[in-house]
Chains A and B, each alone.
Chain A
Amino acid sequence: MTQQAVIEATPVEPTLTGDQPAERDSDEALVADELLVEEVSIDGMCGVY
């Protein structure tokens, strides 16, 4: 039997490059975006139905 799970969430690696508030806000948005939704396809998994 084959088990396959495809995780399609694209990792976002924020880079803190300065102390400017605008840059921090942008980075925080990236971090939040990474954490809000993660998608997984279960096509190819056996024995789950």
Chain B
Amino acid sequence: MSTDPSVDGPVDGFDLDRPWCVHDRVAVRPEPFGALLYHFGTRRLSFLKNATVLAVVRSLAKHPTARSACVAAGVPSAALPAYERALATLAESQMITERMRQ
């Protein structure tokens, strides 16, 4: 659970301070507007609308938390709540999934 005052609060089912990764049944296809995600299990599509959110999503597996992935991708602290909500949306639709701590 985050104690960072720049974050509005926990988003249901998503914790920015936990490790996440793209679901193994999700294909990520870069596009000029950002990227298209397709989940082969749910047959859902998600559009990532800019390159930064794509960078965050692609780097999730390399970072210990989603927050550090956002910071590394250059997300300013003021925009972090918006990125948290975007990631929560992706988590809700199973495009990203929490990974087990190693």
Query: Could you list which residues of chain A lie within 8 angstroms of chain B, going by C-beta atoms?
Result: 25, 28-30, 32-33, 35-43
B10 beta carbon closer than 8 Å to chain A = no
The total number of A-B Cβ pairs within 8 Å is 53
Query: Could you list which residues of chain B lie within 8 angstroms of chain A, going by C-beta atoms?
Result: 43-50, 53, 78-79, 81-83, 85-86, 89-90, 93
Q: Are the C-beta atoms of B50 and A42 separated by less than 8 Å? A: no
Q: Are the C-beta atoms of B78 and A29 separated by less than 8 Å? A: yes
Q: Are the C-beta atoms of A39 and B89 separated by less than 8 Å? A: yes
Residues of A within 8 A of B85 (CB): 33, 36
A28-B78, A33-B86, A41-B45 are known; give 16 further A-B pairs, CB within 8 A. Answer: A28-B79, A30-B82, A32-B82, A37-B46, A37-B47, A37-B48, A37-B49, A37-B53, A37-B86, A37-B90, A38-B46, A39-B44, A40-B44, A41-B44, A42-B43, A43-B43
